[in-house]
Amino acid sequence: MCDKIIISIVTWNRCETLKKTLRGIYEHTLGKYQILITDNGSTDSTVDFLKEESKKYPLDVLYLKENVGIARARNAHWYKCIGYDVVRMDDDIVIETDDWYSIYRDTAYNYNAFVGRMCDSYLSVVGKHKDDDLIFADDLEEYVADMEKEKGSDWVVKNYERHGSEGYSVNGQLMFIPKNAIYKIGYWDERYGMSGFEDIDYAIKGKILGYGQIFINSVKTKHLHKLNNLCGADDHRWPLLWQRVAKFYDDIIIKKSSVSDIIKFSYPTNKLVGTV
């Protein structure tokens, strides 16, 4: 394990929520850390804020000329993450628990897992596990299967269909990724376009590689729910996610392909030039 803490954030026109996100990191993170931030072409006060903040705190900021989407923006600084455990974090999450990073790291290594925050929309499928300190994604799958037997497929459609594989994989709101997984998976899939589910894609790849998926309740966080996706971002991302997931499982389970044949170390499409 590496002692240095790497936190990866992409931001766009969320200056006020970003301030709260960074304040939570400053106040509750112990040890040496570095925050890698890509500003995705913000037009509000984010750039000015980050330039001043970088003078006082360990921020490494890349400023892009325009919004290129979450995956491409994160890939622009991801090469600095190779060789480290990394926390992928959204810019509207506020950490409220001291030494949260140690809890995430220790759990990840004890269970060989991706570790993350329980997304608010998952609560309908947590069931009897809602008060557990550690919630395992496999338990969520088992719970949904039991509820389908008890209440029928309509319940699953209403409460779970939209979550799909997202419901049993860690998402990118707050995601600890072990460095060995990063070595194997590489960069974020830019085919998801401007926003959405490149994080779930990454977690599913980790799951196929044998990494567990664990949600931690003991680390308290707040989701500010500040939506600012580009118009139409949601229109395409669900179908694409399901297509990718279906292919993963078809290749692995049905065709019995080896994991190494399915998951290659991926690279970004092209290098981005910032405006620093």
DSSP states of 178-219: -HHHHHHHBS--GGGTTSSSHHHHHHHHHHHTT-EEEEESSS
Residue 268 is assigned to a structural domain of this protein: no
Backbone angles phi, psi at 24, to 5 degrees: -60, -40
- The enclosing domain of 221 has a CATH number of 3.90.550.10
List per-residue pLDDT tens for the chain, 276 residues long.
456 899 999 999 999 999 999 999 999 999 999 999 999 999 999 999 999 999 999 999 999 999 888 889 999 999 999 899 999 999 999 999 999 999 999 999 999 999 998 766 555 555 566 667 788 877 776 766 777 778 776 766 565 544 444 446 787 889 999 999 999 889 988 877 676 678 888 888 888 888 999 989 889 999 887 555 543 344 445 555 556 655 655 565 555 555 555 555 555 555 544 443
> Which residues span the domain enclosing 13?
5-262
The 3-state DSSP class for residue 54 equals coil
Residue 176 is assigned to a structural domain of this protein: yes
Residue 47 is assigned to a structural domain of this protein: yes
Residue 75 is assigned to a structural domain of this protein: yes
Strands 59-63 and 33-39: parallel
The string of DSSP letters for 8-45 reads EEEESS-HHHHHHHHHHHHHH--S-EEEEEEE-S--SS
- Of the CA atoms within 13 Å of residue 129, those in its CB half-sphere come to 22
Tell me if 13 sits within 8 A of 42, measured CB to CB.
Answer: yes
The string of DSSP letters for 87-144 reads EEE-TTEEE-STTHHHHHHHHHHHHTEEEE---GGGGGGTGGGTT-SEEEHHHHHHHH
pLDDT for position 234? 45
Residue 270 is assigned to a structural domain of this protein: no
CA distance 229 to 92: 13
Bridge partners, residue 115, by sequence: 176, 214
pLDDT for position 163? 47
CA angle centred on 196, ends 191 and 197, rounded to 5°:
75
Residue 271 is assigned to a structural domain of this protein: no
- Give the torsion through C-alpha atoms of 157, 93, 273, 82, to 10 deg: -90
CA distance 222 to 117: 10
Residue 128 is assigned to a structural domain of this protein: yes
Residue 275 is assigned to a structural domain of this protein: no
pLDDT for position 150? 80
- pTM summary value: 0.81
pLDDT for position 121? 55
Name the domain count of the chain.
Answer: 1
pLDDT for position 246? 57
The 3-state DSSP class for residue 66 equals coil
